[in-house]
Amino acid sequence: MKLWFAQSIAGRLRVLVLFVSGTALLLAYISFLAFDFYSLRHNLIDSLETQATIIGFNSESALLFDDQQTAETTLSALRGAPSILAAEIFRADGRAFALYARQDSAKQSIVPKLAVGQTSASWIQDRSVLLGHAIKSDGKFIGSVYILAETRDIANRTRQFGLLSAAILLLCFAIALLATSTMRGLIIRPLENLAETAHVVSRQKDYSVRAKVPRRRDELAFLVQSFNEMLDEIEKGRAVLEQKVAERTAELSAANREIEAFSYTVAHDLRGPLQQVANIGFLLQSNAVNGKTPEASALLGKLVSATSRMSSLIDDLLNLSRAGTAPLKHVQVDLSAIARTILENLVLGDKRHIETVIADSRVAIADEGLITVVLENLLRNAWKYSSRKDLAHIEFGCRDMGDESVYFVKDNGAGFDNAYVDRLFSPFQRLHSQADFPGTGVGLATVQRIIARHGGRVWATGSVDRGAEFCFTLPQSKCGRETDSELSD
Amino acid sequence: MPRTVRSVAIIALCAIAAAVSAQNRVSEYAVKAAYLFNFGRFVRFAPSDAVNNRRTFDICIVGEDPLGLALDDLTANERLDGKPVRVARMKTAGEARTCAIAYISSAEGAHVRTDLDALRGLPVLTVSDSANFLQHGGMIQFVIIGNHVRFAVNLDAVRSAQINLSSELLKVAVSVNGETPAGVRP
Ligand SMILES: Nc1ncnc2c1ncn2[C@@H]1O[C@H](COP(=O)(O)OP(=O)(O)OP(=O)(O)O)[C@@H](O)[C@H]1O
Ligand SMILES: [Mg+2]
């Protein structure tokens, strides 16, 4: 069975042809033999029957007048039939009367077997046939004659037939071989060619190859032709598609560039006038306090704070824009040191009761400027959203999860509803009101853009009033000590 | 039922015929009785008034009867030549003119010649076990060869009486030319 499955189509065809012709021949041989055997035996019995009848007829008077000699003379006529081994006449009471035997060895072999009232019957012994025939005179049973004949003829015929069949079988095998090699040219070779072409297409993605179309106009030619047409279609389709993709990509990057350029210009160009407005407001506030009403001075205060908020928004937008475009320069960065500096600055600006935990010497391979922006955003958020706590707790660290190292910033502040976690990283999406925690909603969008450009992932988990945890990964970076990390370009 | 009885009788007779080696007089005559009946199977009479007038197929025993009832048992309800078989016994051959087969026992002795004269030319198959029966013009004579009952035929006498004996019968005869082989005991 294994052999069968391992074989090529040609091999299988050959086996099939041989099997079918072999079976057919065997069946034919058996049925011919059976028929021959049957008819030969039948003929033999028929002729024995005739001979027995004649002998019976001729030995009637011998039996009636007890003349064994005449009976034996009658029997000896059987000498002319070489297949008859022995013949014997029995009296009505079953005692032997006259015997003929070709050889002495056959003398003892006949035992009368006819039943009372039976006219004639035959028995097949191994390699011989015994025929018994009742002898009657005027309808009265007066004795019986038995003839024993060998079936050598039949055996000979069987052997001859077998030899002939074997010869025919050999011939069939030869024809089968011939047929399969013809089949090779007709079916197998085109098929192999087709399979080869399909292989090239699927392996090398080369849609320009074509299978050879056989000259005959048969199903196979049609199949190969259809296959080639299909390749034509695919090739054409791919070309069109590739062109379209290229066009779209070009369009898209052009649009992107325009947008970047626009937002950068807007942000950058807004900065100058805004700074002027802020400066003027400040001057007005400090220089002209006397002549002003308290309302005017309050309004001036609002103006100053609004302009400062606007300036920080512009800073954020510029950061976001730079995060998407600035070229990356990968170096080994000590994230722990950066985090420490950021938190120290935050503590300087606003004295709060706070507890910080910063893991030692957590390094990463990243662009130093951009990764600093990431940590600044995450730690500022943690600082901001934990400001309502009596004892705020902020932690930076790294843990190994499977193959990856995950850096995290964790706090015990206001937290957020995990159901809305998807929104956090989109620009201007905020989960807290301006009144509770002021902000623009650009920070996490910037973070995500930077991490994505590094080829890492960022995600968050949180629960309301229980704090939040922000995690990110960086490829090629490991939590371990500096020596473990490798620098790559 | 009579058929079975008959078959059994014939089988028994054949058995007896084969057992002649244990010869005693009784079985010898039983065999002869069977032969007498069997002759009837192989004999054909040329058509003549005398033959056509026969209503029965008579097997006649002339003179002393050594056969006893064997022949009667054997022929009961039998037919030969299409006619019922009848066994008749008579003192002289003259009474046997209408018989089909006439058996003249050896006890007739010298009477045999006159008996034969009485039947000469008539379609009657004459059978006897007396010596020189054939030489005297008889047709079939029983002889004993090697404890077997056999018979010899005088074909000339048969033919001159317009009787036809089947070659099957002649085949098993000891001789057909009217001579009895040497060394035979009647
Ligand atoms: N540590 C945190 N705990 C609870 N919620 C947080 C935390 N960090 C971020 N958030 C939620 O995610 C939203 C988006 O954060 P993001 O930093 O982008 O904006 P922001 O902090 O509001 O403004 P800014 O752009 O000034 O940072 C926040 O409005 C807040 O609702
Ligand atoms: Mg923020």
- ipTM entry: 0.80
Sign of CA dihedral A242, A244, A247, A248: negative
Three-state DSSP class for residue A477: coil
pLDDT in tens, A198-209: 898 888 888 888
Give the range among A169-183, A440-454, B108-122 with minimum mean pLDDT.
A169-183
A333/A351 Cα distance (integer angstroms): 28
Residue A32 within a domain: yes
pLDDT in tens, A280-332: 888 877 766 566 677 777 788 888 888 888 888 888 878 877 777 778 899 99
CATH of the domain at A396: 3.30.565.10
A30/A161 Cα distance (integer angstroms): 10
Residues in contact with ligand 1 by the CB-under-6-Å rule are A 316, 377, 381-382, 385, 411, 413-416, 424, 430-432, 439-445, 462, 468
Predicted local confidence at residue B185, as pLDDT: 56
Residue B61, beta-bridge partner list: B89, B103
Residue A240 within a domain: no
Predicted local confidence at residue A102, as pLDDT: 86
Q: Which residue of B has its CA nearest to A143?
A: B11
Asked if residues A365 and A477 have their Cβ atoms less than 8 Å apart, the reply is yes
| CB under 8 A, 24+ apart: contacts of A397-401 | A397/A357, A397/A358, A397/A359, A397/A362, A398/A335, A398/A359, A398/A362, A398/A479, A399/A479, A400/A478, A400/A479
Residue A196 within a domain: no
Print pLDDT tens along chain B (186 aa). 444 444 444 544 444 444 444 445 668 889 999 999 999 999 999 998 888 889 999 999 998 888 888 899 989 889 998 899 999 999 888 899 999 999 998 877 778 888 999 998 899 999 998 888 999 999 999 998 888 899 999 999 999 999 999 999 999 999 988 887 765 555
Residue A484 has pLDDT above 70, yes or no: no
Residue A31 has pLDDT above 60, yes or no: yes
A263/A442 Cα distance (integer angstroms): 14
Residue B62 within a domain: yes
**Selection from A371, A289, A284 nearest residue A326 by Cα:** A371
A480/A478 Cα distance (integer angstroms): 6
A408 Cα–ligand 2 center, Å = 16
Asked if residues A466 and A393 have their Cβ atoms less than 8 Å apart, the reply is no
**Selection from A145, A138, A150, A135 nearest residue A60 by Cα:** A135
Q: Do B11 and A92 touch (CB under 8 A)?
A: yes
Atom number in ligand 1 closest to CA A447 = 18
CATH of the domain at B65: 3.40.50
At position A60, the amino acid (one-letter code) is E
Residue with the bigger pLDDT between A190 and A371: it is A371
Partner A contacted by B31 (CB < 8 A): yes
| Chain position carrying tokens 């065999």 | B31
Residue A373 within a domain: yes
Predicted local confidence at residue B184, as pLDDT: 56
Residue B139 within a domain: yes
Pairing type for strands A330-334 and B57-62 reads unpaired
Phi then psi dihedrals of residue A355, to 5 deg: -120, 125
Q: Which domain holds residue A113?
A: 2-159
Closest residue to B172, CB basis, from A62, A95, A138: A62
Q: How far is CA A259 from the centre of its chain?
A: 46
pLDDT in tens, A241-266: 999 999 999 998 888 777 777 777 77
Question: How many structural domains compose chain B?
Answer: 1
Q: Do A66 and B17 touch (CB under 8 A)?
A: yes
A323/A451 Cα distance (integer angstroms): 9
Burial A350-383 (b: 16+ CB within 10 A, else e): eeeebebebbeebbbbbbeebbbbbbbbbbbbbb
At position B144, the amino acid (one-letter code) is I
**Selection from A151, A103, A153, A113 nearest residue A134 by Cα:** A113
Phi then psi dihedrals of residue A118, to 5 deg: -80, 135
Residue A194 within a domain: no
Residue A287 within a domain: no
**Selection from A339, A346, A347 nearest residue A373 by Cα:** A339
Q: Which of A122, A141, A159 is the last residue of a domain?
A: A159
Q: What is the DSSP secondary structure assignment for residue A470, as one 8-state letter?
A: E
Residue B100 within a domain: yes
Residue nearest to atom 29 of ligand 1 (CA): A430
pLDDT in tens, A4-18: 655 667 677 777 877
Question: How many structural domains compose chain A?
Answer: 2
Residue A241 within a domain: no
CATH of the domain at A58: 3.30.450.20
pLDDT band at residue A399 under the 50/70/90 scheme: very high
Tokens of A326: 């600035």
A298/B16 Cα distance (integer angstroms): 168
Distance (Å) from the alpha carbon of B34 to chain A's nearest alpha carbon: 8
The per-residue pLDDT of chain A, averaged, comes to 85
pLDDT band at residue A60 under the 50/70/90 scheme: very high
Q: Which domain holds residue B142?
A: 3-172
Residue A140 within a domain: yes
B178/A181 Cα distance (integer angstroms): 90
Tokens of A220: 């196979």
Q: Which residue of B has its CA nearest to A64?
A: B38
